[in-house]
Amino acid sequence: MKLGGVGSVRSGYDWHRRATKPSSEELAQAVKPYFEWCIEKFGAARCMFESNFPVEKLSNNYGTLWKRI
């Protein structure tokens, strides 16, 4: 299961329309329910995180997405 692509325009978050891009914490809180559900159903060994750059540059930046919290 690939977990990512949340910054794309089609994700529905409309982050690409904001004057200020979301923080790492805001991104994490927004995707947490979806990612946790997938990990619970498929198991951590069958899931991987991906960034989908450069498509996501419209909504967030690389450093924000990969920040370790």
Domains of the chain, by residue range, sit at 2-65
According to DSSP, the residues that pair with 3 across neighbouring strands are: 49
Of residues 7 and 43, more confidence is placed in: 43
Mean pLDDT of the residues in the chain: 87
**How much of the chain, in percent, has pLDDT values that exceed 70?**
97
For residue 6, the model assigns a pLDDT of 81
The pTM of the full predicted model, rounded to 2 decimals, is: 0.79
* Most confident region among 39-43, 56-60, 65-69 by mean pLDDT: 39-43
Burial of 56 (0-12, 13-18, 19+ CB in 10 A): buried
Amino acid letter for position 22:
P
For residue 43, the model assigns a pLDDT of 97
d(CA 4, CA 16): 16
